[in-house]
Amino acid sequence: MAKEIERKFLVKGDTWRGQGGGKRYRQGYLSTVKERTVRVRTVGDQGFITIKGITVGATRSEYEYEIPLADANEMLDRLCERPLIEKTRYRITRGSVVWEIDEFEGENRGLIVAEVELKDEKQSMSFPDWIGQEVTDDPRYFNANLVARPYSKW
């Protein structure tokens, strides 16, 4: 079984900019129930479908599969809940970890979140100066919840 161990933080300031390249993401949800989410995503010219289980601490089951780009776009346009999540993801390597910074657009414009995937929940790491408050346990920041309650409506 695939497991994802991820911590999430707010980003402060702009000193992170220019440290890593960005890619446009467009994603939507076929299911956003607490026990499981089913996400469709495009990244450049690739499409993916991802199934995630319930989060316990910073860990959850995750299964991701590449699908044809045309299928992903059709699901995003016709089947996914609204609004879609639109963001640019930047990847910055610091020491032994890769930080993924999501700068949201659309109804979630203004939200910038950094995520880091770990080997285990107790893995130690150093934090860049642009890392702010941890929001791993705050469900408002789950992408699936940003569909039902976008950042612009907080």
Written as tens digits, the pLDDT of the chain (154 aa) is 587 889 999 999 999 999 888 999 999 999 999 899 999 999 999 999 999 998 887 788 999 999 999 999 999 999 999 999 999 999 999 888 999 999 999 999 999 999 998 988 888 888 999 999 999 999 999 999 999 999 999 9
What is the number of domains present in the chain? 1
Using DSSP bridges, classify how beta strands 46-53 and 85-94 pair: parallel, antiparallel or unpaired: unpaired
* CATH label of the domain that carries residue 46: 2.40.320.10
The per-residue pLDDT for 44 is 92
Domain extent, residue 78, equals 3-153
Of 29, 90, 141, 151, the catalytic one is 29
The per-residue pLDDT for 121 is 81
Q: Give one DSSP letter per residue of 71-112, joined into a string.
A: HHHHHHHHTS-SSPEEEEEEEEEETTEEEEEEEE-GGGTT-E
The distance in angstroms from the start CA to the end CA of the chain is: 36
Q: Is 29 a catalytic residue?
A: yes
pTM of the predicted structure, to 2 decimals: 0.91
Closest alpha carbon to 108 in 82, 132, 78: 82
The per-residue pLDDT for 126 is 87
Q: Which residue has tokens 């993924």?
A: 100
Q: Which residue has tokens 């993916």?
A: 48
Residue 101's beta-bridge partner residues?
90, 114
SS3 46: strand
The per-residue pLDDT for 1 is 56
The per-residue pLDDT for 124 is 84
For 57: left if phi > 0, alpha if psi spans -120 to 50, otherwise beta; the answer is: left
Closest alpha carbon to 43 in 20, 22, 60, 29: 22
